[in-house]
Amino acid sequence: MSEHYPLAVSSWGDEEINAMKNLLLQDQFTMGENVKKFETEFSEYFHSTYAVMVNSGSSANLLAIAALFYTKDNRLKRGDEVIVPAVSWGTTYYPLQQFGLRVKFVDIDPDTLNINIEMLKSAISKKTKLIVAVNLLGNSNKFDTLTKLCQDNNITLFEDNCESMGAQFDKKYTGTFGRLGTFSTYFSHHISTIEGGVIVTDNEELYHIMLSMRSHGWTRALPKINKVATKEDRDFEESFKFVLPGYNIRPTEISAVLGSEQLKKLPTFLEIRKNNAKYFSSLFINHPYVKIQKEIGESSWFGFSLILTNELCHLRNELTDFLEQNNIECRPIVAGNFVNHDVIKYFNYEIHDELKIANLIDTNGLYVGNHHFCLKNEIDYLYEKIKAFVETQITIAPCPENLT
């Protein structure tokens, strides 16, 4: 039986190492043809018209939100209301704050850990212009309901899909339901390009806006015929011509060649992750002290959540210390209830109704890793260690509230 259950491990093989070696001989490391190649491969894989690679998933969120402010139909304006789930990563929310949106936090579903659809319905107002759907830990939202809500209320849907590459709902990839969707290719994610992120869209105008804003807001990155600006025939005139407030969040060629190799392996990675999830679920689905995430559609199982219930809910600190002492790496469920973080003081926000489940996640939630190789031994080891902890540590009364 394993005596180490890591949170994240490398998924590179000889193919990735050789791709980097070959690139070093070409003496071209800044964004170039390999980035374009990877973007084409990525858009084809996920059946999206366009893909834009950037230097991180966080930058992908920033660029996607920024782009919505510069469309000709003025899709977003400062002060507009955006509805978000209360549990996600910090950089889901930061672009919303940085662009002056009023953020409305809605509680999550106790089973799926994604936004509570019924509470979302009641949160929508005439001021709501954007809904951010976060597919948490690989798990899809209920996009049949979500997309209809947006269509009926003329609301833009944006997907933060950074934890859910390869997940599907009704045979369609998550990240492609919204007007824009973002992916992360950070080390611990489904594929790794060291650092990296991708935005997909079917909208040509948004695609051109992002091409410009990714590279300083200049016109050089745009095709001759585009939806942003009229380009002069002389390259000299276009070399330093700025038309949009932009950034430098370009990826490197090294990240791109790694992405091309990793994308080839993604189907196998996903199959193994799903097999691991089946085994994990078989052990924990009816556990008396732990509640696990309910799969919606076809999850890509970023990791395995464990929400402590009954007597165990008083003992998360003790349990996580015990797991770490036994070489089982674990983390909170992303940022927990984001409203509880000190950074919230910088936001223009409101809380819709209560964040009861988000608070329970904040105090009773943790997750362990999932990987691209068989984890049967590691999952058995986790199960036995939790069993040992329960047998020796539980001495107090049940929680007054549970997730049941």
List the helix and strand counts (H, then E) for the chain: 12, 13
Active-site entry in 4, 47, 189, 372: 189
Using alpha carbons, list the distances in angstroms from residue 175 to 8, 42, 75, 256, 361: 23, 12, 19, 20, 24
What is the Cα–Cα distance from 219 to 205, expressed in whole angstroms? 14
Burial of residue 310 (CB within 10 Å: 0-12, 13-18, 19+) is middle
Burial class of residue 289 (count of CB atoms within 10 Å of its CB; 0-12, 13-18, 19+): buried
Strands 365-369 and 303-308: antiparallel
- 8 Å CB contact between 169 and 177: yes
Q: Is 372 labeled as catalytic in the residue annotation?
A: no
Residue 62, token pair as written in the block: 């920033």
Run of H or E residues at 378: helix 376-393
Lookup result for tokens 């089982």: 328
Structural Rg of the chain based on CA atoms: 22
- Cβ pair 143, 118 in contact under 8 A: no
Residues with active-site annotation: 189
